[in-house]
Each structure stands twice: as structure tokens, then as C-alpha cells.
Amino acid sequence: MFFSIDPNNGVAIYEQIVRQVTFAIAEGTLRPGQLLPSVRVLSQQLAINPNTINRAFQQLQAEGALESLRGKGLVVRADAKSGCLETRRTLIAERLKGAMTEALHAGLSASEVRRIMNQLLAELDGNVATVASTETNEPI
């Protein structure tokens, strides 16, 4: 599992971790029963406060993506993938809606927004690193 934390992107660090774990489960990079790194190890590797990692892991447990195995640590729940797929879709839809709303408020027409979206999709097709990609991220 690879994490890419950007403290300047406007999203809380714990939320970045939650999203990345959620997306990795949805994508199949993290599989049911797979053990996650401990809070201590992950905080050292990412150079962030252990409380931040703990908050992210608690949220993932509350959302039903992770469960605690006594004496082992946190693992991906067997039924986590479907929930993570829906969460991923919802998060992405909200971000796209925000961008489209901004474009419409800026005076672009719906057809201009569609044209831009289609152009960007064509440019990005097959050229985007996923959660599982290792080209630009450091391993955990």
C-alpha cells in the first residue's frame, strides 16, 4: 500500500488517509483480511502525528472498512469492498459536482462544461496512476 500525503491540498491529512484506504479497497489493492501497518509504523513512515493515523483508522472502522483482530492489528473486513466502491463513487461525484457548479457560476454553458469534461477524459484515458501505482509514491 502506498500513501501520498499532501498537507497543502486543503483536505485534512486523516481524511486523505481514509480516502486512500477506501479507494485501495475499492480498487482491490487492499484485499479482505489484509493487515494494515500499525499506527506507529505508519506515522514514522509518513512523518505525521500518530493521533492523525489513529483518527483515520477509527473512522475506517466506524465506516465498516476495517476491523480489529486481537493481537494482530487492523485488517480489511471481508465485506468492505462494496461499501468502499459506493463511498468512492459518492466522493468523486461530489468533487465533480463542485467543479461543474463552479464552471457554471463562472458563466460557462452546460455544453461548454461537457466539451471540457470530454476533452479532459480523452486526454487522461489510460494515462493516470491509480492507488496501486508505484511510479510516484513511496512504499509503505
Cα 33 from Cα 66, distance rounded (Å): 9
**In this model, does residue 62 exceed pLDDT 90?**
yes
Contact 33, 80 (CB under 8 A): no
Quick: pLDDT tens for 96-138. 999 999 999 999 999 999 999 999 999 988 677 665 554 443 3
Q: Domain ranges in the chain?
A: 13-124
Please tell me the predicted confidence (pLDDT) of residue 132: 57
Cα 72 from Cα 92, distance rounded (Å): 33
Please tell me the predicted confidence (pLDDT) of residue 54: 96
Please tell me the predicted confidence (pLDDT) of residue 138: 38
Quick: pLDDT tens for 42-59. 999 999 999 999 999 999
Q: What is the fold, at CATH topology level, of the domain defined by 13-124?
A: Arc Repressor Mutant, subunit A (1.10.10)
SS3 73: strand
- Report which of residues 22 and 124 the model is more confident about: 22
In one-letter notation, the amino acid at residue 43 is S
